[in-house]
Amino acid sequence: MSKNRENIYRVRNHKKKKRKKRLLFLIIPLSLLLIGAASYGIYVYNTAQEAADDSYEGIGRNGEKSKLRDEAVTPIEDNVSVLIIGVDDTVKRDFKGKSRSDALMLATFNKQQKDVNILSIPRDSYVNVPDYGFTKINHAYFYGGPKKTIETVENFLNVPVDYYVRLNFEAFIEIIDTIGGIQYDVPFAINELDSNDNPNAVQLNPGYQTLNGEEALALARTRKYDSDVERGKRQQEIIKTVVKEAATASSILKVDELIKAVGDNMSTNLSFNEMKSFISYGLNNSLAINTINLEGTGTKLNDGLWYYQVDEQSRSAAENQLRDHLNFQTTTPNGQEYTQETSENL
């Protein structure tokens, strides 16, 4: 009996040791994965905070509040707007801070609907730049950087601009290259300069294909093959494609590289905490990005320059759509707020 019991105990102990070994084989790699994930998370968080701190640039507004707002807002709690300013001010250009904006987009974010509206503003739009008079809207950046550009857009659209993000072309290229390019249906053959002005450096045929950063930038910038309005539409579609690709699992693993790519080539008046509040939009798998465009006509004026004259009805419709998305009162075509009295007279 004693020998049988010894054998039984021996077998049981052997099985226990085996189970412990199996558990150790599972626990050790899982622990390493968790530690690695936590360390990576801390590293990414610190990298993001450092990049955000380095890129912060206020514009000197009273409390950083739009003149159209009664009180300051925050993306943590409110619907807000962000003006995206694309500029070509690389070292090679040597504009010394006096470049013109190459792309202007006003995005509104609605927390309840969890969607985004993006209005593309043609760079040659004929508008009144406060203190300088009527000229192309892209001249506003030359006259006074982000602050003057924001004032001009608010004056033109009657929509508050709460924040701005200024990106140069290097950021655009690096973001797309970091995520491995984007899949895009090129509408026509192009033969363009690259970002360093090398002739015939970017050649694309029509069709669905993978574009790297230089190719996507050339397609987004070109105006030779259609119009300024169509160019704006392409830019909107390319941004939507980049957002979709950046939200994939493979791109999320490169988030530290993306942060560095953006941080080195960006300025904004968004704080790090405010930036983090936009994560909720990115985590929404069904995020809708709605595009708005301004209709108008191109013409030469007395100074001999070509301008894009925005149709007032189109401008007013865009104004109302954006204000409504921000939960602002919409306005009449004359810029008056809608009331019972004004609506009866329309």
pLDDT in tens, 219-244: 998 888 887 888 889 988 988 888 88
Confidence label for 202 from pLDDT (cuts 50, 70 and 90): very high
Whole-angstrom Cα distance, residue 262 to residue 63?
A: 26
Confidence label for 31 from pLDDT (cuts 50, 70 and 90): very low
Query: Please, what is the Cα angle at 67 between 65 and 72, to 5 degrees?
Result: 30
User: Strand, helix or coil at 345?
Assistant: coil
The total number of residues written for the chain in this structure = 346
CATH for the stretch 56-344? 3.40.630.190
pLDDT score, position 61: 76
Contacts of 232 (CB under 8 A, 6+ apart): 105, 120, 121, 122, 293
Whole-angstrom Cα distance, residue 240 to residue 255?
A: 18
**Residue 307 and residue 298 in contact, taking contact as beta carbons nearer than 8 Å:** yes
CB neighbour class for 249 (10 Å; exposed up to 12, middle 13-18, buried from 19): exposed
Distances (CA, A) of 194 to 169, 198, 203, 239: 11, 6, 10, 19
pTM: 0.78
Which residue, chain included where needed, has tokens 């007032």?
A: 312
CB neighbour class for 29 (10 Å; exposed up to 12, middle 13-18, buried from 19): exposed
Query: Please, what is the Cα angle at 110 between 107 and 113, to 5 degrees?
Result: 130
Of the candidate ranges 32-41, 146-155, 158-167, 207-216, the one whose mean pLDDT is the lowest? 32-41
Which carries the bigger pLDDT value, residue 20 or residue 321?
321
pLDDT score, position 9: 53
State the average pLDDT for the chain: 79
Which carries the bigger pLDDT value, residue 105 or residue 332?
105
Half-sphere exposure of 344 (CA within 13 A, CB side): 3
Of the candidate ranges 3-12, 176-185, 247-256, the one whose mean pLDDT is the lowest? 3-12
277 has a pLDDT exceeding 50? yes
The alpha carbon of 112 is separated from its chain's Cα centroid by a whole number of angstroms, namely 20
Which residue, chain included where needed, has tokens 């998370």?
A: 41
Stretch 93-103: mean pLDDT: 68
Which carries the bigger pLDDT value, residue 22 or residue 266?
266
